[in-house]
Amino acid sequence: MTDNSWNDVDAYLCNVLLEEDDTLSQTLRASTQAGLPEINVTPPQGKFLMLLAQIRGATAVLEIGTLGGYSTIWLARGIQPGGRVVTLEVEPASAEVARANVERAGCSELVDIRVAPALETLPQLAAEGAGPFDLVFIDADKANSGNYLHWALELTRPGSVIVCDNVIRHGQILDAESADEDVRGTRAALELAGSDGRLDTTALQTVGAKGWDGFLLCVVKG
Ligand code: DHB
Ligand code: MG
């Protein structure tokens, strides 16, 4: 199988399993037009996040890394009535694109975009008593994935779900001596997830339109 086949299979899955969605297509177009990198989750992955929120019955969702708000909109669609998504974005320009996309998707009331480095906002959220969050999606700078997982643990409760994107990185995570900060941060997240007694954890490798990567999935133990 080649990367091309992965693309084709993702397109087939979108065709068979996902409805045409002008709002989400427009979100991707607006993000690209604004010059944001095309590193959004894929449509099947976005729907996976929505379904996770539904399965968990989530009312409070925390996203670390908003980018143009594509995954934010999927998450907002998965929360219970009265629920909220708090999403953290370091780049003001990205946050502006996300704000417009979230508005167009009719989700503004459900989404709180906090513009600052997440490692500043996360302790503030803890101090505000903003949690506990039922679902946390970590998808920001990979160098800090371990630090974000640490804060996710502070902001969740037993039964909460924590998902971290991009934990395989085309297999680069095998390199224990890597000088790449993204690889090191990703390995830190995996090693924390595997060693912290508060979590039940697994990871799934994925292929698709974004190549070979994967999700870390954790549940906070009761
Ligand atoms: C990158 C970041 C992501 O969140 C992703 O899903 C894919 C790639 C990146 O920084 O290259
Ligand atoms: Mg990602």
* pLDDT tens digits for range 79-109: 999 999 999 999 999 999 999 999 999 999 9
121 lines ligand 1 (CB under 6 A): no
Q: Which pLDDT does position 3 carry in this prediction?
A: 76
139 lines ligand 1 (CB under 6 A): yes
Residues 6+ away with beta carbon under 8 Å from 4: none
39 lines ligand 1 (CB under 6 A): yes
Instruction: Write the CA distances from 102 to 112, 182, 203, integer angstroms.
Output: 10, 28, 29
What value does the CA radius of gyration of the chain take, rounded to a whole number of Å? Answer: 17
- Residue range 47-84, pLDDT digits in tens: 999 999 999 999 999 999 999 999 999 999 999 999 99
To the question of pTM greater than 0.85 for the whole model, the response is yes
User: Which residue, by CA, sits nearest to atom 3 of ligand 1?
Assistant: 39
Residue ranges covered by each domain of the chain: 3-220
- The residue whose CB lies within 8 Å of the most ligand 1 atoms, and thus the one to mutate among 166, 167, 186, is 166
- Contact assessment for residue 64 and residue 145, using Cβ atoms and an 8 Å cutoff: no
- Residue range 111-144, pLDDT digits in tens: 999 999 999 999 999 999 998 999 999 999 999 9
Classify strands 199-206 and 213-220 as parallel, antiparallel or unpaired: antiparallel
* Domain over 3-220 is classified CATH 1.10.10.10: no
